[in-house]
Amino acid sequence: MSGWESLLAEVPRALFIPDTIWVDDGRGFTALSKHQDPTGWQAAVDADAPVVTQVDGGQPPAGGVGGWPSSSCSQPSLVADMLTALAPRPGDVVLEIGTGTGWNAALLAHRVGPAGRVVSIEVDPELAEHARSALTAAGHEPLVITGDGAAGYPTGAPYDRLISTAAVREVLPSAWLAQLRPGSRLVTPWGTDYANGALLTLELGRRRTATGRFHGDVAFMRLRDQRRSLRSWEPDEQQITDAQLTTTTCRGRDLDRMLNPAKGKFVIGIRLADTSLHVEWDKHGPGRHTLDLDDPTTCSFARLEADLTNPAPFIVRQLGPRRLWDEAEAAYDWWHGHRAPGPERLGITITPDTQTVWLDKPTTIVRRWSLAPPPPRQPSEETSPWPHESAENWVAPGFVET
């Protein structure tokens, strides 16, 4: 048993899971009450699977069938993976983004011990309150802040470790690196609108430059202000019928590679900027799938009709200023031409000005983003969050050259 697996057993998950959880029964998420179905509740808590603890931002529709999970307690084996990558040590000061139930914060507090400190930020006030109560009842003392974790928590900085349990979409919040100590480590799920993504582990080096690698295939809920609906913009059927019509030489095998997270999906999602993917399998019968790409910012849209039962070329319709299908094919060709890399061959370098995802070595750029300048360093006027520290010791470092 690894160190984390035994720690997971020492800090029981059940203490943090609310009495009502949400279970996907195929129609949507329905409530499962600990009091009405104690066996079902316990089985969900004991499984190596995520437990959905809130749906629809806490406001499920009348009738009680929730549409989308807005908070969950993550899958225990994935929690162990992320904590292994983070490697917090006794005495560390740790920032967690996405408190959720508070279980991960309790695990962190257990690991850093009395000499360390854990701050955890939850955007949803009700969830934050539940986590505070559960943590207190279980005898742990992380500081739970209600707020937007994208801003970090400068009052508690600098941190030795930062873990986000909500996913970053493309650009890492600049406040996170600004609040880390040189030599520190950050772990977060990272993805694009096209692909859920992978786990990113970053180390902050000298001159406020962080370097990291990706691994795995993970699906986390997004940081709340980085969410975009999967169908954020869609033209009507008439517009799609009138769109530019072409065919493609792509076949089923190519589509498999474009959609498979273990194959090209991650890299294609990075090359294909700001583009959501939506696939309807068997939409027009077995083997007749529809793949839509859309960019709501430019109102660009592409639809591929893939009929695997027919040798005729697949039909493509595109409209708007971007030709999204052509871009997707170009991204696929790039992936294929670079020996079909999965996430493990990708790395990232973040400076105060740019974020660059690269392949194998920093000079082979997959994509580069220009970053907005970080906020100017402000002396903190807040009092220390720590009972035995003075506020002066805990001023956010900003982008200080090291």
Number of residues in contact with ligand SAM under rule CB under 6 A:
25
- End-to-end, the C-alpha distance of the chain in Å comes to 39
Of 21, 55, 73, 157, the residue at the interface with ligand SAM (CB under 6 A) is 73
Nearest to 233 by CA among 143, 324, 145: 324
Instruction: Return d(Cα 347, Cα 213) in angstroms, integer.
Output: 4
**Choice between 81 and 327, CB closer to ligand SAM:** 81
Minimum distance between the CB of residue 51 and ligand SAM, rounded to whole angstroms? 8
- Pairing assessment for the beta strands 51-55 and 168-169 based on DSSP bridges: unpaired
Minimum distance between the CB of residue 397 and ligand SAM, rounded to whole angstroms? 21
Instruction: Return d(Cα 114, Cα 112) in angstroms, integer.
Output: 7
Of 98, 154, 197, 212, the residue at the interface with ligand SAM (CB under 6 A) is 98
Instruction: Return d(Cα 152, Cα 243) in angstroms, integer.
Output: 44
User: Does 17 help bind ligand SAM (rule: CB under 6 A)?
Assistant: no
User: Does 193 help bind ligand SAM (rule: CB under 6 A)?
Assistant: no
Of 112, 121, 306, 366, the residue at the interface with ligand SAM (CB under 6 A) is 121
Indicate the SS3 state at residue 235: coil
Instruction: Return d(Cα 400, Cα 179) in angstroms, integer.
Output: 10
**Choice between 79 and 255, CB closer to ligand SAM:** 79
**Choice between 11 and 255, CB closer to ligand SAM:** 11
Minimum distance between the CB of residue 189 and ligand SAM, rounded to whole angstroms? 9
User: Does 223 help bind ligand SAM (rule: CB under 6 A)?
Assistant: yes
Of 80, 94, 108, 150, the residue at the interface with ligand SAM (CB under 6 A) is 150
Residues 6+ apart with CB under 8 A from 393: 384
Minimum distance between the CB of residue 106 and ligand SAM, rounded to whole angstroms? 8
Of 149, 212, 342, 347, the residue at the interface with ligand SAM (CB under 6 A) is 149
Catalytic residue (choose from 70, 72, 74, 184):
74
**Choice between 113 and 147, CB closer to ligand SAM:** 147
Q: How far is CA 66 from the centre of its chain?
A: 21
Span interacting with ligand SAM, options 68-76, 83-91, 309-317, 339-347, rule CB under 6 A: 68-76
Return the C-alpha torsion angle 98, 104, 105, 111, nearest 10: -140
Other C-beta atoms lying within 10 Å of the C-beta of residue 14: 12
Kindly give the residue spans of alpha helices, DSSP state H, lying in 321-383.
324-337
Instruction: Return d(Cα 20, Cα 35) in angstroms, integer.
Output: 9
User: Is 120 noted as a catalytic residue in this protein?
Assistant: no
User: Does 359 help bind ligand SAM (rule: CB under 6 A)?
Assistant: no
User: Does 71 help bind ligand SAM (rule: CB under 6 A)?
Assistant: yes
User: Does 148 help bind ligand SAM (rule: CB under 6 A)?
Assistant: yes
Instruction: Return d(Cα 188, Cα 221) in angstroms, integer.
Output: 11
User: Does 165 help bind ligand SAM (rule: CB under 6 A)?
Assistant: yes
Minimum distance between the CB of residue 221 and ligand SAM, rounded to whole angstroms? 5
User: Does 72 help bind ligand SAM (rule: CB under 6 A)?
Assistant: yes
Indicate the SS3 state at residue 196: coil
**Choice between 218 and 267, CB closer to ligand SAM:** 218
**Choice between 225 and 282, CB closer to ligand SAM:** 225
Assess contact for 369 and 355: CB atoms under 8 A.
Answer: yes
Minimum distance between the CB of residue 185 and ligand SAM, rounded to whole angstroms? 17
Of 89, 224, 336, 338, the residue at the interface with ligand SAM (CB under 6 A) is 224
Of 100, 197, 341, 347, the residue at the interface with ligand SAM (CB under 6 A) is 100
Span interacting with ligand SAM, options 72-80, 133-141, 200-208, 259-267, rule CB under 6 A: 72-80
**Choice between 149 and 343, CB closer to ligand SAM:** 149
Instruction: Return d(Cα 204, Cα 12) in angstroms, integer.
Output: 32
Instruction: Return d(Cα 175, Cα 253) in angstroms, integer.
Output: 42
**Choice between 153 and 394, CB closer to ligand SAM:** 153
Other C-beta atoms lying within 10 Å of the C-beta of residue 305: 15
Instruction: Return d(Cα 17, Cα 99) in angstroms, integer.
Output: 12
Nearest to 144 by CA among 185, 176, 177, 103: 103
- Alpha carbon of 27 to those of 30, 62, 65, 66, 67: distances in Å? 8, 14, 8, 9, 9
Catalytic residue positions, numbered: 74
Binding site for ligand SAM (CB under 6 A): 71-74, 97-98, 100-101, 103-104, 121-124, 127, 148-150, 165-166, 220-221, 223-225
